[in-house]
Amino acid sequence: MIISPCISICKMDPKTGYCYGCARNNEEKINWKDDKISNEWKENNIKEIMERMTDSQLKNFRESYDFKKKNGISLIKFKKNEQK
């Protein structure tokens, strides 16, 4: 199973149409929820979104996505839960 690239920064850039957090567009987000979408498509999509990120965005994404893959929760959600 491939973990969704959502890192809980769900706000769209009005100029590009990409999410500030994961750099996906709305169609890509919908595809990720489709049970018929292959793991190959998901792997390719992760490569594509990482290529469209700025350097600082990519650094933050990698840190949060790696945390999410290891812990099952995005870094942002984890930090919010810790503050409670």
pLDDT digits (tens, 9 = 90+) for 21-63: 999 999 999 999 999 999 999 999 999 999 999 999 999 999 9
On the question of pLDDT at 14 being above 90, the answer is: yes
Q: Under a CB-based contact definition with an 8 Å cutoff, are residues 45 and 37 in contact?
A: no
Rounded CA separation 28/17 (Å): 11
The model's confidence at residue 6, banded by pLDDT at 50, 70 and 90, is very high
Question: Helices 26-33 and 39-52 meet at what angle, rounded to 10?
Answer: 150
Which pLDDT does position 84 carry in this prediction? 77
